[in-house]
Amino acid sequence: MSGEVGTTAPAFNLLDTDGNEFNSSSRAGKKTVIAFFPAAFSGVCAEELCSFRDALADFTAVDAEVVGISIDGRFANGAFRDANNLPFAILSDYKQTTIADYDVVWPDFAGMDGYTTARRSVFVVGTDGNISWKWLSDVPSDLPSIEDVQAAVNAAS
């Protein structure tokens, strides 16, 4: 499975910061922005997710939900969420199955041999459950354009 535009978005069932299961099927019929990020508490990740936070009203105005996913444990994700006042779900893919399903595995991240994390990437899933847009970073410090994500959400079916 992989997260290619035009294909059905891979399903996932991950823990949120409170230990509750978040099942992607609960979003059936709604638009979803999935933001994979490499590491809680890194400056670039905080900047990215705070950008989504600051634009959240624009996403909710078109009934789109934002979800952040990292391989960090739910406790670190919870502290990261609280420290940055993030009002959307931050999910833990500690088993790394979802990053594999979306083909956003980043092995040996930041030159750390054996450390695998999520590639910074954004997917827009339309109401039909298909991936309508994606953005992938080739450099960990690159950030997605929130305006491009908003345009993709607005254009999604």
Reading the chain (157 residues) residue by residue, the pLDDT tens digits are 578 999 999 999 999 999 999 999 888 889 999 999 999 988 889 999 999 999 999 999 999 999 999 999 999 999 999 999 999 999 999 999 999 999 999 998 888 898 899 999 999 999 999 999 999 998 888 999 999 999 999 999 8
| 97 in any annotated domain | yes
Is 150 domain-assigned? yes
The answer to whether position 1 is within a domain reads no
Task: Specify if 29 maps to a domain.
Answer: yes
pTM: 0.94
Q: Provide the domain count of the chain.
A: 1
Question: Is residue 80 included in any domain, yes or no?
Answer: yes
Other beta carbons within 10 Å of 142: 12
Go through the chain and tell me how many residues it has.
Answer: 157
Is 7 part of any domain?
Answer: no
Asked if residues 24 and 11 have their Cβ atoms less than 8 Å apart, the reply is: yes
Based on the residue annotation, tell me whether 50 is a catalytic residue of this protein. no
Which residue among the candidates 45, 76, 99, 153 is catalytic per the annotation? 45
For position 46, which CATH number holds? 3.40.30.10
In a domain, 81, yes or no: yes
Domain encompassing residue 65: 13-155
Strand ordering across the sheet containing 13-15: 21-23, 13-15, 89-92, 64-70, 31-36, 121-125, 131-136
